[in-house]
């Protein structure tokens, strides 16, 4: 059975999720309280509804409970985002993803029971900062407050050496979980795997250790 999604708030973030889900062939209901946003997404989403989601009655009428996953992408109006999430939770929606504007917002969302909380601006800012400092860092994904996964292009300094030679785990406390080489991906590479120039290393570790690795090993 196809999964059914609902996206609440069709700004740049919610709109982009909505468009992408539709392109991936998913059933997606687009919701916003602004008529012009609904007009824009009516042809893109499977259905589009103009509604204020801080009203419980409205969400009940839409049958929001039956959706597999609801994404709350309400922007600046933190109060509306919290209230909407609370109602979705009370109505028994099985999976709720919410965009947080700041750490306080996230704290409240966590207390209410949002399943996934995302910070697109903060995360993209971090990614760009790492990429600016080191061109080798392609991507940076936060796992917790202190741990991340990074995608790093192997520098000439690393190439030609085996993982065991480089002794990355002992020196920096980070692990190489996979190597992307062209179209191939080596998951959990062996210690004797030789790193080639241009390989993309997917590493996991504490932020401070990853930063040290970026500064010293690349
Ligand atoms: P972004 O930063 O993603 O562009 P915006 O603040 O522009 O965020 O978009 C948020 C969207 O959420 C807007 O289109 C706005 O109309 C919608 N929105 C805000 N409050 C509600 C609400 N109570 N019910 C439904 N949609 C809402």
Domain residue ranges in the chain: 4-118, 122-217
The minimum-distance atom of ligand 1 relative to the CA of 99 is 3
**For 77-100, how does the pLDDT look when each residue is reduced to its tens digit (9 = 90+)?**
999 999 999 999 999 999 999 999
Mutational test site, ligand 1, from 14, 32, 101, max ligand atoms within 8 Å of CB: 32
Answer yes or no: is the C-beta of 41 below 6 A from any ligand 1 atom.
no
* Buried b / exposed e along 96-106 (16+ C-beta atoms within 10 A): bbbbbbeeebb
Asked if residue 44 has pLDDT above 90, the reply is: yes
Q: What is the pTM of this model?
A: 0.78
The residue whose C-alpha atom lies closest to atom 24 belonging to ligand 1 is 52
CB 217 within 8 A of CB 157: yes
CB 29 within 8 A of CB 7: yes
What's the mean pLDDT in 165-192?
A: 93
Answer yes or no: is the C-beta of 3 below 6 A from any ligand 1 atom.
no
Question: For residue 135, what pLDDT is reported?
Answer: 78
Can 4-118 and 122-217 be said to share one CATH topology? no
What's the mean pLDDT in 4-22?
A: 97
The residue whose C-alpha atom lies closest to atom 1 belonging to ligand 1 is 11
**For 122-170, how does the pLDDT look when each residue is reduced to its tens digit (9 = 90+)?**
888 888 888 787 778 888 888 888 999 999 999 888 999 999 999 999 9
Asked if residue 1 has pLDDT above 70, the reply is: no
Q: Report the SS3 class of residue 76.
A: coil
Q: Report the SS3 class of residue 54.
A: coil
Q: How far apart are CA 61 and CA 91, in angstroms?
A: 11
Q: Is the ipTM of this complex over 0.90?
A: yes
Taking Cα atoms as reference points, which of 128, 131, 140, 136 lies closest to residue 159? 136
- Mean pLDDT computed over every residue of the chain: 93
Q: How far apart are CA 214 and CA 160, in angstroms?
A: 18
Asked if residue 217 has pLDDT above 80, the reply is: no
Asked if residue 104 has pLDDT above 90, the reply is: yes
Q: How far apart are CA 99 and CA 76, in angstroms?
A: 10
Fold of the domain spanning 122-217? Alpha-Beta Plaits (3.30.70)
- Given 3.40.50.720, 3.40.190.10, 1.10.8.10, 3.90.550.10, which CATH number is that of 4-118? 3.40.50.720
Half-sphere exposure of residue 108: CA atoms within 13 angstroms, side-chain side: 16
């Amino acid at each position: 059975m196809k999964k059914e999604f609902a996206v609440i708030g069709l700004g740049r973030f919610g709109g982009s999720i909505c468009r992408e889900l539709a392109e991936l062939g998913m059933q997606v209901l687009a919701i916003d309280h602004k008529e012009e946003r609904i007009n824009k997404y009516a042809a893109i989403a499977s259905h589009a509804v103009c509604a204020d989601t801080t009203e419980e009655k409205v969400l009940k009428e839409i049958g929001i409970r039956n959706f597999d996953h609801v994404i709350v992408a309400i922007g600046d109006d933190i109060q509306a985002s919290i209230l909407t999430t609370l109602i979705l939770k009370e109505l028994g929606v099985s999976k709720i993803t919410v965009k947080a504007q700041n750490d306080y917002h996230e704290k409240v969302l966590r207390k209410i029971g949002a399943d996934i909380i995302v910070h697109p601006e903060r995360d993209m800012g971090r990614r760009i900062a790492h990429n600016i400092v080191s061109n080798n860092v392609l991507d940076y994904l936060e796992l917790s407050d202190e741990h991340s996964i990074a995608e790093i292009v192997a520098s000439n300094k690393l190439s030609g050496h085996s993982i065991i030679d480089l002794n990355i785990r002992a020196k920096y406390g980070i692990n190489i979980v996979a190597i992307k080489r062209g179209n191939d991906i080596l998951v959990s590479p062996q210690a004797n795997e030789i790193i080639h120039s241009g390989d993309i290393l997917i590493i996991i570790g504490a932020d401070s250790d990853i930063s040290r690795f970026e500064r010293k090993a690349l």
